[in-house]
Amino acid sequence: MALIVQKYGGSSVATPERLKRVAGRVAENRRQGNDLVVVVSAMGDTTDELLDLARQITNRPSAREMDMLLSTGEQVSIALLAMALHELGQKAVSLTGSQVGILTDDVHRKARIAQISSDRIRAELAAGNIVIVAGFQGMDQNNDITTLGRGGSDTTAVALAGALEADSCEIYTDVDGVYTADPRVVPKARKLEFISYDEIMEMASLGAQVMQLRSVEHGKVHGVEIHVRSSFNRNPGTIIREVKEMNNHRPVIGVAQDLQTAKLSILDVPDQPGIAYQVFSALAKEAVNVDMIIQTAPRNGKADISFTVHEDDRERAQAVVGEVAKKLDASGVICNEGVAKISVVGAGMTSQPGVAATMFGCLAKHGINIDMIGCSEIKISCIIRADQVKEAAQALHTDFGLDA
Amino acid sequence: MALIVQKYGGSSVATPERLKRVAGRVAENRRQGNDLVVVVSAMGDTTDELLDLARQITNRPSAREMDMLLSTGEQVSIALLAMALHELGQKAVSLTGSQVGILTDDVHRKARIAQISSDRIRAELAAGNIVIVAGFQGMDQNNDITTLGRGGSDTTAVALAGALEADSCEIYTDVDGVYTADPRVVPKARKLEFISYDEIMEMASLGAQVMQLRSVEHGKVHGVEIHVRSSFNRNPGTIIREVKEMNNHRPVIGVAQDLQTAKLSILDVPDQPGIAYQVFSALAKEAVNVDMIIQTAPRNGKADISFTVHEDDRERAQAVVGEVAKKLDASGVICNEGVAKISVVGAGMTSQPGVAATMFGCLAKHGINIDMIGCSEIKISCIIRADQVKEAAQALHTDFGLDA
């Protein structure tokens, strides 16, 4: 008898009909003799509807109260899924994040799981129940409700699988698995059978939003193999696991683009120590995540600093940098929105040279200008014009031998 | 500085606009220097929408999962009200029933409050917060969410006022207060300045549903004065308190009618000990609440037993009584639906004789036949024909000197 953690996303439970279909699938697994912990997200557009309600009240909702509000979405789903399982003759019980004992820090809307108590779940499993857990939510040490950020239900599932030492963690979503590129952008994209934690983290951070980053981190830390698959068919999906278990790894396993990126530049700041610190510590204080950074070579004792942020952080970043620019006596701040990031990802590139050269050559061949360059161990990213990103993605997919 | 508990019902918070108006009223009270605990219900039709969702899944939802589902309604309201108060520059924090520590028994959907911890609320008040509490909900000793039944938010408010020893408990609703009669039936009905716990319990049980019965019981037990008033205007409402504090109490303070009543008769049962016990213990076992009972004088060793039940219980009562009638060899069961109950209520009638005579005389004067009569300490009720109930209510209202 295996212990399986399954997670069904918002589109899989968007309507009562779909919820019943999920219940059928869960019941089938149960009849095969497995112990099941099922994590669910809010139904379809529920979260957006709740956000809209809040927007009618205020433009600057408190994060704590947003968590109080948003966490109701999953609570509705778990109650209904438990009812649907009862209707199929299965024993099932629903639990909120607080009831499970998912303890987080107190950073509302982006909380991190600190500890999971498995007592209540184990007791319910022992009583013969399928345990339905509200994804995306936990509670802090004050007993206040927290949420884990968009996609946080993945984190709930993976963290539970780790805490329960589950035999398997299945993430059901509306896509078949992880692809070498977004099929809407690159028609020749292929589904990957395996991908490493590091690779999918790079892919996810680049906008290929199959899994929430933190959920993969949890998987990596606790060694949880994650099976990403579709709730609408029976196809095998993609398994996320340690790279060392993979053979014949290509240098590049995927191409990803990110159009949700904005570039800011501070012009003519003094070329002296501590300037970059002033800029980026101010941004950090406002919780703005900075992605790529470049600083031009100084001329006449002045230099330009450019960096990119997620589109959502753009306004905040502009405000912060505007203040800092005044203090530094910079000549101005430029915000460039018509840009995108194109990246190639692959754990194999650490051992196989020439990936950067191939990438830059490919872009040059297609007349695509590179504005900024950034790398990690297993990723090379370029900022280019947003209207060239599709051509770039297709060309790179072909040149790195990824086409189907 | 007074500590005030306020409760706003579903219609008072039905839309974001109305929620903002409630926030305005709360903020005004706060600016007057009061400590405030505000209990809210689910927004308008939310509960019905959730019930409808459940109905699309199953016709026999588990009570535990219904509580999990329904309790989200209030959670949405409290989060939004806290946001609306923040928008007005007020410090406010929302708390679910579990977070407050409203401990109930485990009778899901009709739970009774067993104990209230006031620690969290007191800490939040001490921190300068307006405390917004989700009405209608609590948790049992397993940490499972329970609900208190329809109108349960009143109970939450009154119980909190008791536990916190609040200076005042204000129930905001869509009516101005408690009236001497239903103004739709008796146009000359007047709003009462005061009413006793016992009186309003009699009025409520007669269908004048201003307050949930249990909330008044809580008020009586813990000596909480309850101020019922409208959230749509500034008029003073009706204060519910102990009768001993009231002067010049009239013998009758109100007239109430109940059209949701059905009369059942078992004909020709043997006139011997234990028969009534057999009938009413069978009904009690099926949780049918019996209201009025009469037994005719026996003829030829046989008697008729008649009783009334709430319309909702009629079918069940008929089934039970049909069974019993067979066992007792009764000659038949009659169910009479075209009846209504008309009552006069007043704590003063205990010390002022002649109320019954005035009532019966008034009905006779209007040619209204009395089918059954029942009394409590502070109430006299008559079963009459349903189509005469309006005339009876108006006539009694006049004859007892209640007209405006």
pLDDT score of B248 more than 60:
no
Query: Smallest Cβ distance to A65: which of B16, B19, B79?
Result: B79
pLDDT value of position B206: 67
Judged by a CB distance cut-off of 8 A, whether residue B143 touches chain A is yes
Partner A, chain B 9-68, Cβ-Cβ below 8 Å: 16, 19-20, 50, 53-54, 56-58, 61-62, 64-66, 68
Provide the mean pLDDT of chain B: 92
Q: For residues B250 and B347, give the distance between their C-alpha atoms in angstroms, rounded to a whole number.
A: 8
pLDDT, tens only, A162-191:
999 999 999 998 888 889 998 889 999 999
Residues in chain B closer than 8 A to A76 (CB atoms): 50, 53, 69, 72
Q: How far apart are CA B240 and CA B232, in angstroms?
A: 20
3-class SS of residue B32: coil
In this predicted structure, the answer to whether residue B212 has a pLDDT above a threshold of 80 is: no
- B82-127 residue pLDDT tens: 999 999 999 999 999 999 999 999 999 999 999 999 999 999 999 9
**Which of A43-57, A86-100, A167-181 is the least confident region?**
A167-181
Output the pLDDT for position B85. 98
Would you list the DSSP string of B378-396? TEEEEEEEGGGHHHHHHHH
Pair of tokens at residue B281? 């213990």
- The pTM score is 0.82
C-alpha span between A276 and A269 (Å, rounded) = 9
Residue B245 has what pLDDT? 52
Query: Does B57 contact A80 at a Cβ distance shorter than 8 Å?
Result: yes
For an interface test with A, which of B51, B78, B83 has the most A Cβ atoms less than 10 Å from its Cβ? Answer: B83
Strands A3-8 and A168-173, sheet pairing: parallel
Q: Which of B53, B61, B94 sits opposite A16 (nearest CB)?
A: B53
Can you tell me the mean pLDDT for B347-371?
Answer: 90
Contact yes or no for B86 and A79 at CB 8 A? no
pLDDT digits (tens, 9 = 90+) for B113-165: 999 999 999 999 999 999 999 999 999 999 999 999 878 999 999 999 999 99
- Whether the pLDDT of residue B207 is over 80: the answer is no
Nearest residue in chain B measured CA to CA from A82: B65
Please report how many Cα atoms fall inside a 13 Å half-sphere around the Cα of residue B213, on the Cβ side.
Answer: 11
Q: Which tokens in the block code for residue A162?
A: 């780790």
**What pLDDT digit, counting tens, does each position of A296-312 carry?**
888 888 989 999 999 98
The distance of A84 to chain B (nearest Cα, Å) reads: 6
Which pLDDT score is estimated for B50?
96
Please indicate whether, in this complex, the C-beta atoms of B83 and A65 are within 8 angstroms of each other: yes
Residue numbers in A near B50 (CB within 8 A): 76
For A248-291, how does the pLDDT look when each residue is reduced to its tens digit (9 = 90+)?
567 899 999 999 899 999 999 988 888 888 999 999 988 888 88
Q: What is the pLDDT of residue A108?
A: 96
A84 contacts in chain B (CB < 8 Å): 57-58
C-beta atoms of A68 and B82 within 8 A:
yes
| Cβ-nearest to A83 among B16, B57, B83 | B57
Question: What token pair was written down for A243?
Answer: 């790279």
Is there a contact between B58 and A16 if contact means CB atoms under 8 Å apart? no
User: In which residue are the tokens 């209504």 written?
Assistant: B340
B349 Rama sector, left if φ>0, alpha if ψ -120 to 50, beta otherwise? alpha
For residue B124, give the chain A residue with the closest CA: A142
pLDDT at res. A232: 86
- Looking at residue B1, its pLDDT comes to 81
The pLDDT > 70 percentage for chain A reads: 97
Spell out which residues of chain B touch residue A98, defining contact as CB-CB under 8 Å: 98
Chain B residues in contact with A79 by the CB 8 A cut-off are: 54, 65-66, 68-69
Rounded to whole angstroms, how far apart are CA atoms B293 and B277? 12
Packing angle of the helix pair B46-57, B63-87 (nearest 10 deg):
150
Residue type, position B112, single letter: R
A66-75, A211-220, A366-375, B37-46: segment of lowest average pLDDT: A211-220
For A202-216, A315-329, B206-220, B225-239, which range has the lowest pLDDT when averaged over its residues?
A202-216
Amino acid A60: pLDDT:
94
Residue A87 to residue B16, Cβ atoms within 8 A: no
ipTM: 0.83
